[in-house]
Chains A and B, each alone.
Chain A
């Protein structure tokens, strides 16, 4: 019984000691590293760019024939700051990290072609997770953007 009480006290001390670290895990992120992979997907051909190996399963679910990495760019943005990415076809992708909560990042994403806004969305994704934005036409296929974010 004495051993159980000791263990209980130890648990309490351990939890008490860990609390600041757990709280800090959410609050200590100063910025967000955003990576955009711009991929050209086409029904023609059957080639898969080896540089896209990490995204193979995600991309092949889109049912295109060939996938080619056109550009990969990483930028670091502060909270409420914009990160602008040039996308082929005169497009601009702007990503604004808004908040982090429970290891999930809130991102405001805007896609423009020239001055014309094409899409604006707010997403919440897991830290170090990604989502796909696709559809804009490019050459004989479409553009597929893999947008990933990591809080730092």
Chain B
């Protein structure tokens, strides 16, 4: 291996300041006398400068203040209600158990409907809204009362009778109104 080849192999290390005193002196003295190695040194120096400029241009400056400000703003900003609801319900709605729960409820409802048609009155023990809606009443001049009895949820139409115009004997309730 020629002297120039040895010097060029250690040129990079010399430029980076990695060579010890004696080795660095050898390279420096050779570069002062050898034009070809001097040319090689300049090329390496140019390459080093070019690489540094490219790396500096691509480095994103780190502005901690602005990042912290944005982060704090995001924490403090209240999310819309629908985002909150979606965050709460999302995992539940996506779970397989919920997906199978819906058909189970549908089957249960259909079963109730069919059971009601097959066995009418099967649920008569449970309180049921029995209120009837009265759309019209005509008592032909007589007084009439429409009452709703809330304990049994029953609609009562009470006809007050005029004792003078009725054929039956007047009883205790004649024209006194309903007894309740």
Contact = CB atoms under 8 A, between A and B. Distances in A.
Contacts, number: 163
B144 to A, nearest CB: 7
A7 B134 CA distance: 44
Nearest to B147: A132
B99 A119 contact: no
Interface stretch (B13-21, B34-42, B51-59, B149-157): B149-157
Nearest to B177: A135
Contact of B132 (A7, A44, A131, A138): A131
A116 to B, nearest CB: 8
B2 to A, nearest CB: 69
A119 B157 contact: yes
A8 B99 contact: yes
B113 interface: yes
Residues of B in contact with A, size category = 35 or more
Contact of A131 (B155, B161, B167, B170): B155
A122 B155 CA distance: 13
B32 interface: no
Interface in B131-177: 132-140, 142, 144, 149, 151-152, 154-161, 166-174
A93 B142 CA distance: 17
B80 interface: no
Given A134-B157, A134-B159, A136-B161, A62 B178 contact: yes
A39 to B, nearest CB: 13
Interface stretch (B62-70, B82-90, B100-108): B100-108
Interface of B: 94-96, 99-100, 102-103, 106-107, 110, 113-114, 117, 120-121, 128-130, 132-140, 142, 144, 149, 151-152, 154-161, 166-174, 178-180
Q: Which 5 residue pairs are nearest across A and B when measured between Cβ atoms?
A: A7-B99, A135-B159, A125-B132, A131-B132, A4-B99
19 contacts: A18-B106, A18-B110, A43-B173, A43-B179, A58-B149, A58-B152, A62-B178, A104-B133, A113-B166, A113-B167, A123-B132, A126-B132, A128-B120, A130-B130, A132-B156, A135-B144, A135-B161, A135-B178, A136-B159
